[in-house]
Structure 1
Amino acid sequence: MGEQTTHIWSSVDAPEDQRDTDNSEQEVTQPYDVTETETPPTQLRRSERIPKPNPKYANAAILDDGVKEPDTYEEASQNKVWQKAMEEEITALEQNQTWELVPKPRDIKPISCKWVYKIKRRPDGSIERYKARLVARGFSQQYGLDYDETFSPVAKITTVRVLLALAASKDWKLWQMDVKNAFLHGELDREIYMNQPKGFEDTTNSNRVCKLRKALYGLKQAPRAWYGKIAEFLTRSGYSVAHADSSLFIKEKEGKLAVVLVYVDDLIITGDDEREIRLTRENLSVRFQMKELGELKHFLGLEVDRTTEGLFLCQQKYTRDILQKFGMLECKPVSTPIEPNAKICAHEGKELEDGTMYRQLVGSLIYLTLTRPDISYAVGVMSRYMQSPKKPHLDAARRILRYIKGTIDYGLLYKRGEDCKLVGYCDADYAGDHDTRRSTTGYVFNLGSGTISWCSKRQPTVSLSTTEAEYKAAAVAAQESTWLVLLMEDLHQKVDYAVPLYCDNQSAICLAENPVFHARTKHVEVQYHFVREKVLKEEIKMRQIKTDNQVADLFTKGLSIGKCEGFRCQLNMVRRMGASAEGEC
């Protein structure tokens, strides 16, 4: 008899003609060496092996052009382009007077440093430049001796979306600037000694060490020191720090605005005071070494396109990179990110031998939710099983990849000329988590036509009724509404109305509007009555909406194709201009 063998194809190594089923994986039997007269066994043995991704996708540092980022100095020193990049970094450090060479003090153990290499690429994937960064190994610093406070604020992504929505509505120009060697501008308040960088040691006296004058990348206090420097410069220039976001700086003069948003060394500058904006850009270039990047195109992996309709925000390149990394670039698309009424549990299915790939996949998808609210619920469910992922969890995560394959060019559109009015929606899926029976909170806020804030999160406690679950969701949405109103006021945008918050549960609305406690709600935690206080102060107006029109439903459960596409359109998610119009709103 000829031999029979069984092989399980994963979505990574399966041929194209075997990737067109609804499941991301399936068992496929492939007989071979069988003659016409031979009869195969009636029942084949099924393998229990868990499929693994193809090794060629394991190293994300190697892209299609075959260029690899070196891991060590010895490897980099053999290549002229990396040697030149290191020389440029040392030159920048010397020009900035980052350190001085001094004899090694007694009883002082200097911290070490290392070279880190990165290939900077353009949006189309081509190489822009080779970058070498000298990084201090700050993990060896001792708290109280080498540093005290380390916290440094960065701009909230919701603030970025609010700024884009305002800029689109009012037709403001968006400028982007990058600070060269930003952390080197921060000043230290402690004496810190570091070993000389590898490959650039002073051979005349090997006993010398670097006494740092300025902050260096890798130091615990470096981000805080840089923020203090840029904040000091902007406040002296007449800007004030926003109460809602410490990374937002605003200058108002004669009814005109200039706004600077700081995310570490990336700056977004916008507003309608063109003279002040030009002056600020010039002053920044004088005070710091700045790189002028022109009008905003790319920011933290987000792609911004200015169209005739307004501003379009997406992560198309990042989406394609995820699909390529996990071997799903040629997979067959599906229409929804998660199956309707999917029952995903923590303890069903075979445990993965190595959950690293699953964690990397879910982590990558979490960042994709910055511009893709339509996958927030599915990714939130998958993130619950990071500690001990099972095979069904991996299948469900791959389904999300298949969904984004079919919607790779979708993003958020902020239309020009829209009235900048806040509108919120909140919903809850009662006892939707099959492991804990907790409910899922979902809310979304629009500013004008564009979606600026959303959330899909499992509630911290079990709810005893749908009313209680919806009431808790409304309370969480009310907190976000309060912060958004504060942010709008910082940006000198009047919110002189009660923010409408749409809910499809009449009992929850009555509970929010009725200040009387009764037996059925006495167990509800005090913090959830926050929404009632906001309603009574007329800062929020709870309104009834039909379930079929409740867009927040997208953040609480898996939906059918029709509902998923309808709510996606309601979020003003559209295809990128120039892409295929199939399935577009």
Structure 2
Amino acid sequence: MAKDCRLPKKNQAHVSEVRSVPIDLGELNLSAVVFEANLVDNPRKWWIDTGATRHICSDKEMFSTYTPINGRKLFMGNSATSNIVGIGNVVLKMTSGKELTLIDVLHVPDIRKNLVSGSLLVKSGFRLVFESNKFVLTKNSHFIGKGYVEKGLFKMNIMTVMPKMAKVPFCSVERKTSPLELIHSDICDLKFVQTRGGKKYFITFIDDCTRYCYVYLLRSKDEALEAFKLYKNEVENQLSKTIKAIRNDRGGEYGAPFEEFCSEFGIIHQTTAPYSPQSNGIAERKNRTLKEMMNAMLINSGLPQNLWGEAILSANHILNKIPQKDKNETPYELWKVHKSTILDIHENTIIESRNAVFFENIFPCKDRKEEESSRKRTREVANGDHQRDEEPRRSKRAKRAKTFGPDFLTYLLENEPRTINEALSSPEAPFWKEAINNEIESIMQNHTWELVDLPSGSKPLGCKWILKRKYKADGSIDKYKERITSIRVLIVVAALYDLEIHQMDVKTAFLNGELDEEIYMEQPEGFVVPGQEKKVCRLVKSLYGLKQAPKQWHEKFDQTMLSNGFKINECDKCVYVKSTQHSFIIVCLCVDDMLIMGSNRDIILTTKKMLTKHFDMKDMGLADVILGIKISKTSDGLALSQSHYVETILKKFKAYESPPAKTPVDLNLHLAKNKDEPECQIEYSRIIGSLMYIMNCTRPDIAYAVNKLSIFTSNPSKDHWKGLIRVLRYLKYTSNYGLHYTRYPAVLEGYSDANWISDSKDTKSTSGYVFIIGGGVVSWKSSKQTCIARSTMESEFIALDKAGEKAEWLRNFLEDIPCWTKPVPAIMVHCDSQSAIGRAQSSMYNGKSRHIRRRHNTIRQLISSGIISIDYIKSNDNLADPLTKGLSRDQVYCLSRGMGLKPDN
């Protein structure tokens, strides 16, 4: 290790102060002790040394900034000395892709091992977690890099050292002088929504000489070759020339069949280098321009997203007739060898209109403005601070009746059909009819019931159709799916080990359960068998709506999974695991939907085949959404978001009219119990319900605000409405936020906090906890404590008890996950109360804390059994702080990032 002995500590506080030390002080020496292992020859590698107090480098070429110095020496452990000839910064490119900048690195040519001071990294806000054979480097819960043991020392995994250098610019290429000498091509994915013809992609063919572009819409990438054949036949026939070469990337759509076709006609097929989009820059830039114009057209016109194909073709038509920067001619002129005329727009025809005026800037499809009266209440709540002068009156203790808000009629109109007759008489009748027929067909194929005479003394159950729509990830209707009961779905956070996640749906899941009692039901409306009207259905298997149906379906699924070698997770009975020496598979059942993840695709496909054999399944491929929660891949892990759902409720409750806010809680707004008549109680409860769904799924940053506002659901006031609108305004500002999970660090740690009686009129404190894995929060809770705490220590201790309870559950859950390292180490729970930590670690208790004896014993047991360990953390760094109180803008921003909550883009 290296240690400064004479350099004053005050000169180490800032980089600028270190650099201001006089360079010509010959009497100023630097003492250091260096392990003999550091003398091993490793000139380009870097090693973590927790005992070193300075960073040391032997190669001057590694420095990004450099200042020569004289008269300073480094003393070795064997009493030898080495000269320090310079000081500067070194930038290390980690294998994670992130850069680590080392400040004030000493240049010592004689030293043979480059050292990174672990203590300096910790002082700079980094965190080092050492395991048996590796270490993980993080900052603010974000993974930076890692390293492994090599010859007894921890070596950093770096890609390269980045000195002063810039990327070499791509050389400009001369443009071809004749059409069809070179064609640029690329395919673009727009499968977020299909066109009216079912198209998901578009492909471009751009002539290098004229920049004239053709665009074709595709249903799948496999149609790329057919599109090129159409393009080739048309352009070669029109220009009486042949295509010489085509350039594209290495996408699968340009595979072996495409190569064979080019070879057959003597066309040179040029492919670009991997990860080098600049090599195909003309096609890449064209696709970007087309998409930007398409978005502008659709947004400005108010047209639906399924018209993106027409917008792309229109944008391409416009671009072909716009002059280029380096030429005064348009691509159309260079391609056709004549100027464009107005005749070409309407296929060689001119339409003359009399007594008609065209309004080209008015779009009928645009959303019409809301009536002023419908916005009056929201605007008044969002912006008004008006007070009412009231006559003094005697207070009453009367039960308040629920009031219906002005949007209650809209709420009723937005519901799905309540009867089968309503469904079949609606504009969507063909879709509902198809869904109902599919459901009856599934019931009959499954032999769910049989028609019998009703035994004497028996009473048949009624039968009612419950019609629901199922939506895609972008909010569009996926299918008109009817159910006879509502579906509850669990949201599962994906694992951290880069596993493929697939999704399957069990068609008519509850029809698979087998009944062990006699149940009779009336024949369903619209499907009464002619001639047997008086008969009833004796249920052979369970049916949606029966109280036994969920239990019977789950037992049936359990039997199937256990008979095929799966084990049930003891902490969550809906999680099934199966592992061998070389592979593992995890299945998470969410009523009738399931997520499947495994160590490789083969075992996933095998499991899918097994499930399809036993149940009527729908394979949905890679998981992208589950009940409105988008699951997306990022460059370093997974992300969960509900951006579309947030935008939907903002529009539904007209929150787009209010300006955005950067915090969910107004610190100047004090909420108290309403003593007047309630303000739009039904609408208030609807918004609270929508916010709770978002809060429980992907938005821990609004947990405290929603928890606080939900207390007043039965009798909201104008102040409560202001607080509610504030949350909606904050969601407007952060509508694209999602939870991001990285692959490192694979460490589970928790944060606990409490706010002791912040309101003089409130006698109970607020608890909050957060648990982090892979840089993102996986579990959180904000709630009012059930008992009265007499001090800050007691409130923090009660919160710590709740956090310990959740930590034990998470630890036990991870014990049954095959890919997780065993045994699971003690979970570090961070707390910002020294007194609570001291009480937890003490085996003694006195009369003042006797009433929390049970909680004390519970936490002591968790600590002694190695389930949790407690560590002190500053309040400003406590990620559970936003779940117990309102914070400033900067605190909300920093702590949200610490929880992995950040924009999706």
- TM-score normalized by structure 2? 0.55
Which residue pairs with 1:224 in the alignment? Answer: 551
Distance 1:575 1:58, change over 3 A: same
Distance 1:477 1:379, change over 3 A: same
The Cα shift of 1:88 comes to 2.0
The Cα shift of 1:326 comes to 1.4
Which residue pairs with 1:132 in the alignment? Answer: 482
- In 1, distance between residues paired with 2:679 and 2:489? 38
**What does the per-residue CA deviation read over 1:437-492, in whole Å, with 9 as the maximum and x for residues that have no partner?**
21111110101211111111111111111111111111111111111110111103
- In 2, distance between residues paired with 1:27 and 1:343? 14
Judge conservation of contact 1:258–1:271 (CA < 8 Å) in 2: yes
The Cα shift of 1:549 comes to 1.0
The secondary structure found in structure 2 opposite 1:13 is helix
- In 2, distance between residues paired with 1:371 and 1:473? 22
2:798 corresponds, among 450, 468, 472, to: 472
Judge conservation of contact 2:660–2:730 (CA < 8 Å) in 1: yes
Which residue pairs with 1:13 in the alignment? Answer: 375
User: Counterparts of 1:273-422 in structure 2 under 5 Å?
Assistant: 273-340=600-667, 342-347=669-674, 350-352=676-678, 354-369=680-695, 370-416=697-743, 418-422=744-748
The Cα shift of 1:517 comes to 1.1
Q: What is the identity percentage for the equivalent residue pairs of Structure 1 and Structure 2?
A: 36
Which residue pairs with 1:26 in the alignment? Answer: 384
1:517 corresponds, among 839, 845, 851, to: 845
User: Counterparts of 1:560-575 in structure 2 under 5 Å?
Assistant: 560-575=888-903
Judge conservation of contact 2:513–2:555 (CA < 8 Å) in 1: yes
Judge conservation of contact 1:54–1:327 (CA < 8 Å) in 2: no
The secondary structure found in structure 2 opposite 1:224 is helix
Distance 1:408 1:12, change over 3 A: farther
- In 1, distance between residues paired with 2:502 and 2:480? 25
Instruction: Say if 2:566 is the partner of 1:239.
Output: yes
Distance 1:12 1:451, change over 3 A: farther
Judge conservation of contact 1:12–1:327 (CA < 8 Å) in 2: no
The Cα shift of 1:177 comes to 0.3
Which residue pairs with 1:536 in the alignment? Answer: 864
The Cα shift of 1:60 comes to 6.8
The Cα shift of 1:412 comes to 0.4
Structure 1 residue identity aligned to 2:382: S
The secondary structure found in structure 1 opposite 2:480 is strand
Judge conservation of contact 2:775–2:898 (CA < 8 Å) in 1: no
Instruction: Say if 2:414 is the partner of 1:61.
Output: yes
Instruction: Say if 2:892 is the partner of 1:555.
Output: no
Judge conservation of contact 1:194–1:210 (CA < 8 Å) in 2: yes
**What does the per-residue CA deviation read over 1:175-220, in whole Å, with 9 as the maximum and x for residues that have no partner?**
0000001011111111110011111112212210011111110000
Judge conservation of contact 1:346–1:435 (CA < 8 Å) in 2: no
Which residue pairs with 1:498 in the alignment? Answer: 826
Structure 1 residue identity aligned to 2:544: Y
Which residue pairs with 1:139 in the alignment? Answer: none
Instruction: Say if 2:779 is the partner of 1:453.
Output: yes
Structure 2 residue identity aligned to 1:243: E
Which residue pairs with 1:32 in the alignment? Answer: none
- In 2, distance between residues paired with 1:332 and 1:51? 26
Judge conservation of contact 1:433–1:440 (CA < 8 Å) in 2: no
Structure 2 residue identity aligned to 1:504: D
Judge conservation of contact 1:551–1:570 (CA < 8 Å) in 2: yes
The secondary structure found in structure 1 opposite 2:656 is coil
- In 2, distance between residues paired with 1:188 and 1:72? 27
User: Counterparts of 1:72-91 in structure 2 under 5 Å?
Assistant: 72-78=419-425, 79-91=429-441
Which residue pairs with 1:581 in the alignment? Answer: none
Distance 1:524 1:129, change over 3 A: closer
- In 1, distance between residues paired with 2:703 and 2:497? 29
- In 2, distance between residues paired with 1:11 and 1:238? 63
The secondary structure found in structure 1 opposite 2:464 is strand
Higher relative contact order (CA 8 A, sep 6+): 1
Judge conservation of contact 2:467–2:482 (CA < 8 Å) in 1: yes
**What does the per-residue CA deviation read over 1:404-426, in whole Å, with 9 as the maximum and x for residues that have no partner?**
0111110100013x131111110
- In 2, distance between residues paired with 1:396 and 1:451? 25
1:171 corresponds, among 491, 498, 518, to: 498
The secondary structure found in structure 1 opposite 2:375 is coil
Judge conservation of contact 1:345–1:434 (CA < 8 Å) in 2: no
- The number of equivalent residue pairs is 518
Structure 2 spans left out of the alignment, 5+ residues: 1-370, 392-402
Judge conservation of contact 1:119–1:131 (CA < 8 Å) in 2: yes
**What does the per-residue CA deviation read over 1:80-105, in whole Å, with 9 as the maximum and x for residues that have no partner?**
33233222221111111111111122
Instruction: Say if 2:109 is the partner of 1:109.
Output: no
The secondary structure found in structure 2 opposite 1:548 is helix
1:194 corresponds, among 501, 507, 521, to: 521
- In 2, distance between residues paired with 1:532 and 1:554? 27
Judge conservation of contact 1:438–1:463 (CA < 8 Å) in 2: yes
User: Counterparts of 1:115-154 in structure 2 under 5 Å?
Assistant: 115-134=465-484
**What does the per-residue CA deviation read over 1:92-145, in whole Å, with 9 as the maximum and x for residues that have no partner?**
111111111111221211011111222333233333322334569xxxxxxxxx
Structure 2 residue identity aligned to 1:533: Q
Judge conservation of contact 1:11–1:327 (CA < 8 Å) in 2: no
Structure 1 spans left out of the alignment, 5+ residues: 1-8, 29-43, 63-68, 137-151, 578-585
- In 1, distance between residues paired with 2:388 and 2:484? 55
Structure 2 residue identity aligned to 1:61: E
Judge conservation of contact 1:427–1:473 (CA < 8 Å) in 2: yes
- In 1, distance between residues paired with 2:809 and 2:837? 21
Which residue pairs with 1:250 in the alignment? Answer: 577
Distance 1:260 1:434, change over 3 A: farther
Distance 1:205 1:155, change over 3 A: closer
- In 2, distance between residues paired with 1:480 and 1:500? 12
The Cα shift of 1:346 comes to 1.9
Which residue pairs with 1:267 in the alignment? Answer: 594
Structure 1 or 2, whichever has the larger Rg, is 2
Distance 1:263 1:132, change over 3 A: closer
- In 2, distance between residues paired with 1:245 and 1:81? 37
Instruction: Say if 2:789 is the partner of 1:442.
Output: no
- In 2, distance between residues paired with 1:557 and 1:11? 36
- In 2, distance between residues paired with 1:117 and 1:391? 36
Structure 1 residue identity aligned to 2:865: K
Instruction: Say if 2:508 is the partner of 1:508.
Output: no
- In 2, distance between residues paired with 1:405 and 1:322? 10
- TM-score normalized by structure 1? 0.83
Judge conservation of contact 1:410–1:574 (CA < 8 Å) in 2: yes
- In 2, distance between residues paired with 1:60 and 1:74? 16
**What does the per-residue CA deviation read over 1:234-284, in whole Å, with 9 as the maximum and x for residues that have no partner?**
111101001111111011110532100001001101021433222110011
- In 2, distance between residues paired with 1:522 and 1:45? 49
- In 2, distance between residues paired with 1:535 and 1:221? 42
Distance 1:226 1:433, change over 3 A: farther
The secondary structure found in structure 2 opposite 1:510 is helix
Structure 1 residue identity aligned to 2:898: Q
The Cα shift of 1:500 comes to 1.1
